[in-house]
Structures are given as structure tokens and as C-alpha cells.
Chains A and B, each alone.
Chain A
């Protein structure tokens, strides 16, 4: 009769050895898979960081381009404004406009500055109409943003606010 105990022991021992090797392999494979997974995760994180950095760089580049575009646009606008201001000033200071201004002011002095009183103007003479047309154009250019109000004020503030269009002093005179 065979020694069953011996067989069983040897079988068990043999099985135990295989099992141990199998477990070691399994552990190793698990470890490899785990390391691979971690590496993939790290790779994904780095890819995300790189993508985010690229997006940030692109965003900054677009912002810089936008800023450059705005600066160029503003420079072009100022250049156009200055050019237009020179032309308008030249027109206002032309011999023709000197004559209009002289006639208009003479009309005011002779007909509406009476003694100590200032009368309201009832009729626009031709010279005053020419000056009014000029300021009407100036008003349009200012309202539409082609010319800046403070620049117009610097050059024509007094004539517009005081003389040519008038003043509120007649309210005091009443």
C-alpha cells in the first residue's frame, strides 16, 4: 500500500512551490501593470500641463497681438485726428474765414451790443452762416468720435462757447 501521507505531502509541497512561483509572477505582473498605469497617469498629467502651458502661451500671444493691434489702431486714429485738426485749423484761419469772422463780429457789435445791453440775434447773416456751417461740421466730427472733445475745446472752445454761438449772459440782461 502506498504511503498516502508521503504522496500527499510531496504533492502538496510540489503544489506549494508552483503556487509560490505563480504568486511571485503574478505580483511581478501586477507591479508591472501598476507601474505602467502610474507612468501613463504621469504622462497624461504632463500632457495636460504641456497643453495648458501651450494654451496659456497662445492666450498671452493673442492678448499681446490684441494689445499691439489696439495701439496701432490708436496711433492711426491720432494721426488722422491731428491731420484733420490741422486742415480744419487751416480753414478756420484762412483769409476767407477771417473775412467771415470779421463780418460776423462786426454784425454782432453793431446790431446786438447796444449800450450796456446784449440783444438776441434775430437773423443770421451770410458770414455767420458760413462759420456756423464750419462748427456744425466740427460738432458732427466730435459726436462721431473722429475728433476728441478736449482737442476741439483747446482750439475752438472760446469761439463756440462764448462768441459765435453765444452765451447765457443775455439771461442776466433780461
Chain B
């Protein structure tokens, strides 16, 4: 996973190996389900990830631009 080192670091820091365990499991299920439905077995390409990030960034940036007041809240670390 792309975020695996960061999650591993967080687990080590907090001494809890169960952090984001449910998310990890869900991710594997999603990947399996997508593979079953699309019939695609090969992993995603870098280009697809880049394209996905940029497309979604444009989408949420447009949404945030429409809601400047609510969108400016600073997220807190959970």
C-alpha cells in the first residue's frame, strides 16, 4: 500500500498494531471486489493514480471554492 510506511510508523509510535486495521482489511476487500468485477488482475499504474489524484483534486477544489467559510476549518489530529 502507498500509505503502508506511514501507517506502520503511526502504529509503532502509539504502540498499537491495530491502528487502521479495519481500513487495511476493507482496502483488501475493495481491491478483490474491483478485480472480480472488472476482471482486471494487474495492479493500477502510476499514470492512473496520478490521473485519479488530479481529477479528484480538481473536483474537491471546486467544491471547496464554493464553500469558503466551512471549508477553512483546520483538521485536528485524531
Residues in A lying within 8 Å of B, measured CB to CB:
94-96, 98-103, 105-106, 108-109, 112-113, 116-118, 120-124, 126-130, 132-133, 135-140, 142-143, 149-150, 152-153, 157-163, 165-173
Docked complex Cα distance between A170 and B44 (Å):
9
* Docked-complex contact B22 and A99, CB < 8 angstroms: no
Docked complex Cα distance between A94 and B75 (Å):
13
Q: A98-B71, A127-B75, A161-B30 are in contact. Are A166 and B3 (CB under 8 A)?
A: yes
| Best-surrounded residue of A122, A127, A142, A166 (most CB of chain B within 10 A) | A166
Docked complex Cα distance between A99 and B69 (Å):
11
Docked complex Cα distance between A160 and B30 (Å):
7
Interface size on B, residues (CB 8 A): 49
Min CB gap A166→B, angstroms: 3
* Across-interface contacts of A169 in B (CB, < 8 A): 2, 43-46, 48-49
Q: How many A-B residue pairs have CB under 8 A?
A: 168
Docked complex Cα distance between A70 and B65 (Å):
48
Min CB gap B31→A, angstroms: 5
* Docked-complex contact A121 and B6, CB < 8 angstroms: yes
| Best-surrounded residue of B9, B10, B26, B67 (most CB of chain A within 10 A) | B26
A138 to chain B: closest residue by CB: B26
Min CB gap B13→A, angstroms: 11
Docked complex Cα distance between A113 and B57 (Å):
13
Residues 60-78 of B contacting A (Cβ, < 8 Å) = 60-61, 63-64, 67, 70-78
* Docked-complex contact B22 and A161, CB < 8 angstroms: no
Docked complex Cα distance between A105 and B64 (Å):
13
Docked complex Cα distance between A172 and B45 (Å):
8
Min CB gap B39→A, angstroms: 15
B19 to chain A: closest residue by CB: A136
Min CB gap B30→A, angstroms: 4
* Docked-complex contact B3 and A105, CB < 8 angstroms: no
Residue A136 contacts which of B20, B37, B74, B76 (CB distance < 8 angstroms)?
Answer: B20
* Docked-complex contact B60 and A101, CB < 8 angstroms: yes
